[in-house]
Amino acid sequence: MSLLLPANLQQCPSPSLSPSTPLFFSPSSFSFVGTRLRCRLRLVTSCVTSVQSTVANGSAPAPVVVEREQIRLGLPSKGRMAADSIDLLKDCQLFVKQVNPRQYVAQIPQLPNTEVWFQRPKDIVRKLLSGDLDLGIVGLDTLSEYGQENEDLIIVHEALNFGDCHLSIAIPNYGIYENINSLKELAEMPQWSEERPLRVATGFTYLGPKFMEANGIKHVTFSTADGALEAAPAMGIADCILDLVSSGTTLKENNLREIEGGVVLESQAALVASRRALTERKGALNTVHEILERLEAHLKADGQFTVVANMRGNSAQEVAERVLSQPSLSGLQGPTISPVYCKQDGKVSIDYYAIVICVPKKALYESVKQLRAVGGSGVLISPLTYIFDEDTPRWGRLLRKLKL
């Protein structure tokens, strides 16, 4: 009879056995007492104790990059963040192919060396730290809470334009809080003492205490609550809450409000990577470069429109001066002015000039009005999909962070 041990125990050092010595136990190592099976495995017990002690003392060695050919990208597995992540990649011509919606792994054909793994956001952060993932899309709030400023986590792109929210303190609208409007006033309320601290219900047990300490608030305690945090003050189990806020509607419906100075951080979705993976895993840096270029080009074009119009004029210079004389047109990218040729009486001549400008959505209607006011006609408008610059600014920033 032999007993197979886990790999981590097989590699545990022993004063009497070398790491390569196979561990097994003969039937004589076992004895029966009543109906119980007792195993005298002092070596195993010693190894387990040693491993637990190492982890408990925080002295466990940093995870190493395990050799594998595929680059692993972690995406949120459920909810709005999951759908928005897939949609963003699709808009960048990176199509996530999932054979079965119940499967946790998928492919991106445009990145043949990359696997997609669907995970809970907090697990994406944890697995980036453990080396099981190389890249991930998560909210900055999740990254800050579970990453806890670990230097191995590096932000590749901090603003993916979805998942916008902020982490904030909210207090009741009633009772002793009715005239409290700021974090300073909340902290100075005479009710709080060492025996009766301010009770904060939150799921952010790292960011919460850190924020309170940074603001010099001493008499405070944190707890987690089952279900919606917004109910905690009304139930009497907390004095205030620290939670994510998007529109603020849920707070209002539960008779809660934010206070001045109570915002812990602003958050949105970000592309995050493992520093070790980028510097040690073959192909990881090239994959990040391609993803980042696609993201930059698409996000820069998001909300931008190309406006094309024809305009009569004596020269391109004269047309440009007319266009740039308008306040809504002078600060835009362009104009690009090209001659429009036509043939009259057997001769080729310049009859019009074509003007091309890039306009943000919020300035679109006013820009068209001013373009028509200076003689523009036949105005065509089309949304921009990509704007590729000569260089990707965040790529250079990433290389500097990696000291490459």
Task: Check: CB of residue 359 under 8 Å from CB of residue 308.
Answer: no
**Two domains, one topology: 71-163+269-300 and 167-265:** yes
Sign of the CA dihedral running 335, 336, 337, 343: negative
Q: Among 2.60.370.10, 3.30.2130.30, 3.40.830.10, 3.40.190.10, what is the CATH number of 71-163+269-300?
A: 3.40.190.10
Task: Check: CB of residue 307 under 8 Å from CB of residue 403.
Answer: no
What is d(CA 111, CA 106) in angstroms, rounded to the nearest whole number? 12
Q: Among 3.30.70.120, 1.10.3720.10, 3.40.50.920, 2.40.10.10, what is the CATH number of 304-383?
A: 3.30.70.120
pLDDT score recorded for residue 69: 87
CB neighbour burial string for 361-370, b if at least 16 within 10 angstroms, e if fewer = eeebeebbeb
Of residues 298, 324, 320, 326, the one with CA closest to residue 383 = 298
pLDDT score recorded for residue 63: 58
Task: Check: CB of residue 308 under 8 Å from CB of residue 355.
Answer: yes
Sheet holding 377-383, edge to edge: 333-344, 347-360, 304-311, 377-383
Q: Which CATH architecture describes the domain 167-265?
A: 3-Layer(aba) Sandwich (3.40)
What is d(CA 100, CA 30) in angstroms, rounded to the nearest whole number? 47
| Residue type present at position 332 | L
The token pair that represents 294 in the structure block: 């696609």
Q: What are the boundaries of each domain within the chain?
A: 7-56, 71-163+269-300, 167-265, 304-383
83 — phi, psi (to 5°)? -65, -45
pTM above 0.85, yes or no: no
| Residue type present at position 58 | G
Bridge-based pairing state of the strands 71-76 and 135-139: parallel
pLDDT score recorded for residue 326: 85
Q: What are the per-10-residue average pLDDT scores of the chain (404 residues)?
A: 41 41 40 39 36 41 70 96 97 93 92 96 97 97 97 97 96 94 95 95 96 94 84 93 94 96 97 97 95 95 92 90 83 80 83 90 90 91 90 92 92
Bridge-based pairing state of the strands 198-202 and 220-223: parallel
Which residues neighbour 105 within 8 Å (Cβ) at sequence distance 6 or greater? 115, 116, 117, 118
What is d(CA 57, CA 318) in angstroms, rounded to the nearest whole number? 75
**Per-residue pLDDT reduced to its tens digit, 118-133:** 999 999 999 999 999 9
What is d(CA 87, CA 214) in angstroms, rounded to the nearest whole number? 38
Quote the distance between the C-alpha of residue 156 and its chain's center.
Answer: 9
Task: Check: CB of residue 107 under 8 Å from CB of residue 97.
Answer: yes
In the block, residue with structure tokens 């963003």: 88
State the Cα angle at 280 between 274 and 281, rounded to 5°: 80
Instruction: List the beta bridge partners of residue 291.
Output: none
